[in-house]
Amino acid sequence: MTDTPGHAATDRPEPQAAEPPVAERRPVALEAHGDVRIDDWYWLRDKDDPEVIAHLEAENAYTEAVMAGTRPLQEALYAEMVARIQETDLSVPVRKGPWLYYGRTVEGSSYGIHCRRAAEGPEDAEDAEEVLLDENALAEGHDYFSLGNFSVSPDHRWLAYSTDTTGGERHTMRFRELSSGTESDESIADTSYGAAWANDNATVFYVRVDAAMRPYQLWRHRVGDDPSTDVLVLEEPDDHFYLGVGRTKDDRCVLCGLDSKITSEVLALDADDPTGAFSVIEPRRHGVEYSVDHDRGDPGTGRPARFLIVTNDGAEDFRMMAAPDDSPGRDHWVEVLPARIGVRLDAVDPFDRYLAVFEREDAGTRIRVIEHATGASTPVEQAESPSTVWGEANPEYDASVLRYGYTSLATPRSVYDLDLESGGLTLLKRQPVLGDFDPAWYRTERRWATAGDDTRVPLSLVYRADLVDGPGPGPGAPCLLYGYGSYEASMDPTFSSLRLSLLDRGFVFAIAHVRGGGELGRHWYEEGKFAAKPNTFSDFVACACHLVDDGWTSPDRLVARGGSAGGLLMGAVANLAPDLFRAVVAEVPFVDCLTTILDETLPLTVLEWEEWGNPVEDPAIYEVMKSYSPYDNVAATGPDGSPVRYPDILATGGLSDPRVGFWEPAKWVAKLRAANPANRVLLKTEMGAGHGGPSGRYDAWRDEALVYAFILDALGLADVPVRPH
């Protein structure tokens, strides 16, 4: 990277009148492997301590005071965002049996409405629509609301649904008779995500979590019965594994998945026999992952009923196997789709006569359709690069149409129907963007940065076409660089109408597809986890340097953003290269990672050892995590002894967050301020929400307006108007 100066004092906004809260130092010694760390703010973990709540509220008040001068900007940004959104809208209906299921939103209402109408009835009939569930009615009187499960019985008579009103992700399940809207008397507390009906249309399988928020039990309930009579069907004793439940697409089986981060086991039950026993497809073997669906076969062509198994067994980037119903174990697996170098097989979706295959290659997604009878393979065309395709809801096994989604950073989300027999393509809906908008005004492209070990790291960019003069970039522009890089999650390029408020102010938006994600296959993930985790952070810095060196932006105009594990990334790069970024937005950031992963009493910690390593047992992993843990590496002075000036930082948290403790950003902010009082650090904690932040869409848009206002203010661009097209 070209040499860049440090943040000059003249670059900073004038000091705020409000004084930041000062969290008292109460040193606690944390010892592991003979190493002692002193944590001055360990006490901020106690949610039941009134002093902790008072401190969080003081931080919120301080953030509000500091941002008070941007309130007109926040309102302007919010108005821009809402003006582009078709607030009263309708999803594309999905056919399942005799019904078309869809969702609606209504202007002024924060939550969705779930509906259906008869597939063969008149669409415009006054009583055509049945409202199955109105989330707005369920959310009344609650500061937070989230729908966990929404599952309709095979005969379309009953709805099983669950709700969370705290953000803690412990849901209450209820049952509604759809023709009358009457609810069954029972409710089941403390359920998790996942519900599956048996074919008797009365039995529901559901999941419960343990004290550490690990889904570990599968229960069976019969609608109308007292939940105290529910039957515990399966319990997973290994703390490394979590449990999930679902149905095969052809409705033949209920599946129970038992998964750790690196190992899988699936059990199947005949959906016609709800009180029967689940049988194992293939016993778990360490490091072997697999997922299962079912193909009911075709007696006319001789294709037998079979399980379809996508696995990494003998294939780093996965392959698809098939196994007979009566002997589905590995000894009977037959390869259907072989592994291919550089191609990651993500999933398959079986149809009666076709197979939809979802793949990744060269940091892009694609869909292929394979005809069972001939083996002919046809790719789904994509108009742009980079762009993203995915499978939409395709619940009918016998359908001859594949529904899929398409988007890019410049093209709104679109829903297509592909006729699998004729190849005809129909655009059903493109996300409406109201007002003055034309996709042609924006340009998206793929670029590649070079990491310190010469690894090429993909970047996805979008910007106003008139920002670039000729074939190369123009002078440095303001830039927002986003990253995640964990759990093999791919940050595929997708459109956001909210983002237009930045693009139309001259911003470049970029996604750094760093190691630890899944964009380039399993090896890309493996090279960003365990002891190799630091690659995630150096990749992001390399992407930032690439944007600076190629003239897209400059350090005084570059902002980094990430959330959760991406918030860990934000904290790590702020320590690695504080002068490279003007500002950082770290949402629910996992910044106290070492202390958390050492604490087996916290939710999900043991599960996480297969992602980060186990610093309790492994001194080498302990040292690696300590070397990058953002909280542990906040520096007061640099190598030359001068004070370290961090980028402006906006951190967020959720008091009820079961995934990243609210105390992690709170402790981090306190330590950043103590390291250098000149650091401009803000903390905003949602006192009535969890990991996902505000639950209502209007609150979420206001939250985004606040983030954009922070970014613009940090760059000195608060008064920059939207550029006319």
Which residue from 191, 193, 217, 195 is spatially nearest to 204, judged by alpha carbons? Answer: 195
553 Cβ contact list (under 8 Å, min separation 6): 476, 477, 478, 479, 508, 547
Could you give the CA distance from residue 567 to residue 672 in angstroms, rounded to a whole number? Answer: 15
Q: For tokens 């989230």, name the residue.
A: 146
pLDDT along the chain (725 residues), means of 10: 38 60 98 98 97 98 97 98 97 97 97 96 78 97 95 98 95 96 96 98 97 95 98 97 97 97 97 98 98 92 93 98 96 97 96 97 97 94 96 96 98 98 96 96 97 98 86 73 98 98 97 98 98 98 97 96 98 98 98 96 88 97 98 95 96 93 97 96 91 86 97 96 87
pLDDT at 7: 40
- CATH code for residues 51-82+436-592+630-714: 3.40.50.1820
Q: For tokens 């009134």, name the residue.
A: 50
Could you give the CA distance from residue 5 to residue 677 in angstroms, rounded to a whole number? Answer: 20
Could you give the CA distance from residue 132 to residue 125 in angstroms, rounded to a whole number? Answer: 17
pLDDT at 17: 61
Q: Which amino acid is at 382?
A: Q
Could you give the CA distance from residue 471 to residue 474 in angstroms, rounded to a whole number? Answer: 9
Hey, CA dihedral for 39, 40, 42, 44, is it positive or negative?
negative
Three-state DSSP at 13 gives coil
Could you give the CA distance from residue 725 to residue 439 in angstroms, rounded to a whole number? Answer: 12
pLDDT at 476: 79
Q: Is 272 a catalytic residue?
A: no
Could you give the CA distance from residue 588 to residue 656 in angstroms, rounded to a whole number? Answer: 11
pTM across the whole model: 0.94
Structure tokens at 566: 């991406």
pLDDT at 13: 44
Q: What is the DSSP string of 648-677?
A: EEEEEEETT-SSS-THHHHHHHHHHHHH-T
Three-state DSSP at 106 gives coil
Which residue from 162, 164, 169 is spatially nearest to 144, judged by alpha carbons? Answer: 164
pLDDT at 1: 46
629, 691, 695, 713: which one is catalytic? 691
pLDDT at 690: 75
Considering just the CA atoms, what is the radius of gyration of the chain in Å?
Answer: 26
Q: Are 451 and 459 in contact (CB under 8 A)?
A: no
Could you give the CA distance from residue 305 to residue 328 in angstroms, rounded to a whole number? Answer: 11
Helices in 67-204 by DSSP H: which ranges? 71-84, 135-139
Q: Is 55 a catalytic residue?
A: no
648, 657, 695, 713: which one is catalytic? 657
Q: What residue segments make up the domains of the chain, in order of their start?
A: 51-82+436-592+630-714, 593-626
pLDDT at 126: 65
109, 146, 460, 564: which one is catalytic? 564
Is residue 697 within a helix (H) or strand (E), and if so which, with residue range?
helix 697-714
Could you count the other beta carbons within 10 Å of the beta carbon of residue 443?
17
Distances (CA, A) of 142 to 133, 688, 695, 696: 17, 9, 10, 11
Distances (CA, A) of 90 to 99, 103, 105: 16, 6, 7
Q: Is 564 a catalytic residue?
A: yes
Structure tokens at 216: 């570990």
